[in-house]
Amino acid sequence: MQPFIFNSLPGRVIFGRGTLSQVASEIENLGCSKALVLTGPSQAATGEALRADLGNAAVGLYSNARMHTPVNVTEEAVELARTLGAGCVVAIGGGSTVGLAKAIALRTDFPQIVIPTTYSGSEATTIVGQTENGIKTTQKTLKVLPEVIIYDVDLTLTLPTQLTMTSGINAMAHAIEALYAVDSNPITDMVAEQGIARLACALPILSKDPHNSEARSDALYGAWACAYCVGIVSLALHHKLCHTLGGTLNLPHSETHTVILPYAVVYNTPYAVDAMAKVARILGSTSAAQGIYDLARTLGAPSSLRELGAKEEDLERVADVAMTKTYPNPGPLDRGKILSLLKDAYEGKRPA
């Protein structure tokens, strides 16, 4: 057994069906009496229904969470929370809404209750990403880790099929990077493998039967397992490129992760042979990168940056931004190789 360091994360996780009914009691358990409910524009009605259910425990609703967590949106939400006298936030939605809750907590230390409706996994990590002036930056701090996560499988039954697929592969990316992280350990490796396996089994079922509650439960559990791992260990090239593409080109989050993942795996496979062999085995493929790519294509997910609206002339700038800050990665960071990776992802070629 190799020596390792394992830092467990604090927090309370409630998983099941119908667990949305426990929000009020969790607000009380946190010692709060005034919660601001957060959602994105497309889930404003869901947020309003939750606010109504909470009665006097909710002081208002902010429904303008945006992709990549723009700083000006966060500042607007913080101002509303303070004006209304809120003492905590309740976020219900996908990664954009959860990201807003974390950005608010970073500025205010408000306790958070988050209720994910996708598989983005942000709720289980100590990472917050924020975008300002076209640049997305991330930081890792316990200040943004939610105090309570409520997973309600029922809330994912109506998740659109396309978003289910890309959000699920986005979740798998968390675990794959955890397997080759510089600070990986046997505990996160075990959980990561289980998360990838649950999602790899559930997503094909959901692509044909999106209301399959057992597969929805497996996918949601798998997403939590994958995110839990990346909340403990370090991020590497895949996440850096996706954050850069999102912040610089405003590309959609889960779709960008889906497209980039097989090419980031190709880049790092020579330096993480054992980790990638585990992924290939789980996916039933001779190659981790090809297994990921083929799974995404089978699920009807996008396979190229061109499909997402990127322009080839933007790739040089993305490569430059990706090289502006050092970060741990199995393979040495080389601008030319990163640019080649981006060009392959732009074309959507099947990895060699």
How far apart are the C-alpha atoms of 344 and 150, rounded to whole Å? Answer: 39
Q: What is the pLDDT of residue 244?
A: 92
Q: What is the pTM of this model?
A: 0.91
Which residue carries 């597969």 as its tokens? 215
End-to-end CA distance of the chain: 33
Number of Cβ within 10 Å of residue 191's Cβ equals 18
How far apart are the C-alpha atoms of 256 and 171, rounded to whole Å? Answer: 12
User: In the 8-state DSSP scheme, what is residue 40?
Assistant: -
How far apart are the C-alpha atoms of 184 and 158, rounded to whole Å? Answer: 35
For the beta sheet containing 12-16, the strands, ordered from the edge strand earlier in sequence to the opposite edge, are 12-16, 148-152, 112-116, 88-93, 35-38, 58-62
Digit-by-digit pLDDT tens for the chain (352 residues) are: 778 888 888 889 999 999 999 999 999 999 998 999 999 999 999 999 999 999 999 999 999 999 889 999 999 999 999 999 999 999 999 999 999 999 999 999 999 999 999 998 889 988 898 999 888 888 889 999 999 999 999 999 999 999 999 999 999 999 999 999 999 999 999 999 999 999 999 999 999 999 999 999 999 999 999 999 988 999 899 999 998 998 889 999 899 999 999 999 999 999 999 999 999 999 999 999 999 999 999 999 999 999 999 999 999 999 999 998 888 999 999 999 999 999 999 999 999 8
How far apart are the C-alpha atoms of 157 and 243, rounded to whole Å? Answer: 28
Helix ranges (H only) for 180-212 are: 186-208
Q: What is the pLDDT of residue 305?
A: 97
Domains in the chain, please, with CATH?
A: 12-156 (3.40.50.1970), 161-347 (1.20.1090.10)
Q: What is the pLDDT of residue 127?
A: 87
Entry field: residues in the chain: 352
